[in-house]
Chains A and B, each alone.
Chain A
């Protein structure tokens, strides 16, 4: 009887342990990096991907067509609304939002994984950036967030409510090593 109980306890502990082990999340290359709001954060992500040795393509305002996404296995959208960036692209935030929603819908159809990244921190939070975040989270497979962008807990809540894995980092340059881990 004692033996059975011991086996049962060990089995339970093993199952419990496995359930709590952090899953290794991996994404596949090639990666398409685009902007979600035309801030310079997407460009920083491109530089980080380049220095991290990731197989990527960077198109800041890629047109949302199945053909444009066909070659990619992961889509990284760097969220950050910039009036100057949107102005330079000759669009407003609603036009940008429309492009992004079409893009993530195509990604879902094509089974392309989506990483939502906020790498510019608190200074790039605001109503326009949040509007973009809210519109895209249902399509996200992973959240990559600079810690000070989550001072109000917005990204933590999204992660918990929608069961999306989240990774925080302190400095923008930390993203380089995180990308290396994600794209094993």
Chain B
């Protein structure tokens, strides 16, 4: 009898330990005076409510007529300069004309788990005006426990039918636009973002990303790895090419050369393609170089890398946002005016923490 109880108890322990639960995480966000209201993405698509795919949104309304801009960070949670850029924006910026909507962590579920492709720690402590704060280095994709279904063998994009060999890409937000209201959680997340864009009549938007650095690396066996080509790129939907062309030239003039790229019409599911196609919003996507995404190397320093420190990457995104604003104002009657964003040189001198509450 005792033996049976022991077996039952051990079986119970085994079953409990083998069940995995989705993690809950709410990132540390401390809005500044520019934020006039807050909400949740589920306000635009109710099925997200009470799930880890729901995410906070921040409205910065000048109260004056003008254009509406959407800033997205954290589509891929390991691309930390994107979430931090969004934080610096909503903790400092003052919108004087038009409106800015900020989603600092577009895929909150991906933020809840460590990067599945590296051994980079989940949390980094940085010093800020209020003392230590933690930056979260998450994964590229939705936590499989939040997706609630196993990955398919291959990923098929809805509605185009385009197939990607890696089935895990079904949990990549930036392969799932325009989303599907009755689809899986990541498809629903993409759909909710487009619903926000349509309902708020967002005129233009930027989805910030990070990629491999351009640095050429050599491993211990002497194998040479060419750097990535995506970093310092601005990808524009066809509706925004002219605007992007000027912004990129202005970035070069201020000492951060960027490459202009046209959104592919063949590769589906990306924000710059589908948001532009499925709404009136002009969509852009930016890429900064993240040492954590280099193909080789150990002890990658994603905060203080000598060539690509976090402050430089955040500075790049913020400067690009400023250029997009000024260029947008050249082309369109509805204006957007934003003040109090840190200048690049000051950001490089003081560091990111100086601009975080």
CB proximity of A151 to chain B, nearest CB, Å: 14
- Among B241, B249, B265, which residue has the most Cβ atoms of chain A within 10 A? B249
Contacts of A172 in B (CB 8 A): 248-249, 252
CB proximity of A127 to chain B, nearest CB, Å: 15
- The residue that A120 contacts in the complex, of B236, B244, B259, B262, with Cβ under 8 A, is B259
CB proximity of B237 to chain A, nearest CB, Å: 11
Within 8 A of A (CB), among B204-253: 229, 236, 238, 241-242, 244-246, 248-250, 252-253
Interface residues of A (CB under 8 A from B): 39-41, 43-44, 46-48, 82-85, 87-88, 120-121, 123, 171-173
Given contacts A120-B259, A173-B249, contact A84 B242 (CB under 8 A): no
Complex A-B: 12 CB contacts under 8 Å: A40-B245, A41-B260, A43-B245, A46-B242, A46-B245, A47-B246, A84-B261, A85-B262, A171-B252, A172-B248, A172-B252, A173-B250
Interface residues of B (CB under 8 A from A): 229, 236, 238, 241-242, 244-246, 248-250, 252-253, 257, 259-266
Closest 4 CB pairs of A and B: A84-B264, A40-B260, A44-B245, A173-B249
Contacts of A83 in B (CB 8 A): 264
- Among A121, A123, A173, which residue has the most Cβ atoms of chain B within 10 A? A123
Please report the C-alpha to C-alpha distance between residue A39 and residue B229 in the assembled complex, in whole angstroms. 15
Establish whether residues A44 and B262, one from each chain, have CB atoms under 8 Å apart when the complex forms.
no
Please report the C-alpha to C-alpha distance between residue A47 and residue B248 in the assembled complex, in whole angstroms. 12
Contacts of B241 in A (CB 8 A): 40, 43
Establish whether residues A88 and B265, one from each chain, have CB atoms under 8 Å apart when the complex forms.
yes
Contacts of B266 in A (CB 8 A): 84, 87
Establish whether residues B262 and A84, one from each chain, have CB atoms under 8 Å apart when the complex forms.
yes
Q: Which residue of A lies closest to B244 (CB)?
A: A40
Given contacts A40-B260, A123-B259, contact A171 B253 (CB under 8 A): yes
Contacts of B250 in A (CB 8 A): 173
Given contacts A171-B252, A171-B253, contact A47 B245 (CB under 8 A): yes
Establish whether residues A88 and B238, one from each chain, have CB atoms under 8 Å apart when the complex forms.
yes
CB proximity of B96 to chain A, nearest CB, Å: 26
- Other A-B pairs, 11, CB within 8 Å; known A40-B262, A87-B264: A40-B244, A40-B245, A47-B242, A47-B249, A84-B265, A84-B266, A85-B262, A88-B264, A120-B259, A121-B257, A172-B252
Contacts of B253 in A (CB 8 A): 171, 173
CB proximity of A38 to chain B, nearest CB, Å: 8
- Among A40, A48, A82, A87, which residue has the most Cβ atoms of chain B within 10 A? A40
CB proximity of B246 to chain A, nearest CB, Å: 6
Please report the C-alpha to C-alpha distance between residue A118 and residue B264 in the assembled complex, in whole angstroms. 22
Contacts of A48 in B (CB 8 A): 249
Q: Which residue of B lies closest to A170 (CB)?
A: B252
Contacts of B229 in A (CB 8 A): 123
Q: Which residue of B lies closest to A84 (CB)?
A: B264
Please report the C-alpha to C-alpha distance between residue A85 and residue B265 in the assembled complex, in whole angstroms. 9
Given contacts A40-B241, A88-B238, A123-B229, contact A82 B249 (CB under 8 A): no
Contacts of B242 in A (CB 8 A): 43, 46-47
Please report the C-alpha to C-alpha distance between residue A44 and residue B246 in the assembled complex, in whole angstroms. 7
- The residue that B261 contacts in the complex, of A40, A46, A87, A171, with Cβ under 8 A, is A40
CB proximity of B274 to chain A, nearest CB, Å: 15
Given contacts A172-B252, A173-B249, contact A44 B260 (CB under 8 A): yes
Q: Which residue of A lies closest to B264 (CB)?
A: A84
Please report the C-alpha to C-alpha distance between residue A63 and residue B252 in the assembled complex, in whole angstroms. 33
Contacts of A171 in B (CB 8 A): 249, 252-253
Contacts of A87 in B (CB 8 A): 264-266
Q: Which residue of A lies closest to B235 (CB)?
A: A84
CB proximity of A1 to chain B, nearest CB, Å: 61
Contacts of B245 in A (CB 8 A): 40, 43-44, 46-47
Please report the C-alpha to C-alpha distance between residue A83 and residue B248 in the assembled complex, in whole angstroms. 20
Contacts of B244 in A (CB 8 A): 40
CB proximity of B243 to chain A, nearest CB, Å: 10
CB proximity of A128 to chain B, nearest CB, Å: 14
CB proximity of B21 to chain A, nearest CB, Å: 41
Q: Which residue of A lies closest to B243 (CB)?
A: A47
- Among A43, A48, A83, which residue has the most Cβ atoms of chain B within 10 A? A43
Contacts of A40 in B (CB 8 A): 236, 241, 244-245, 260-262
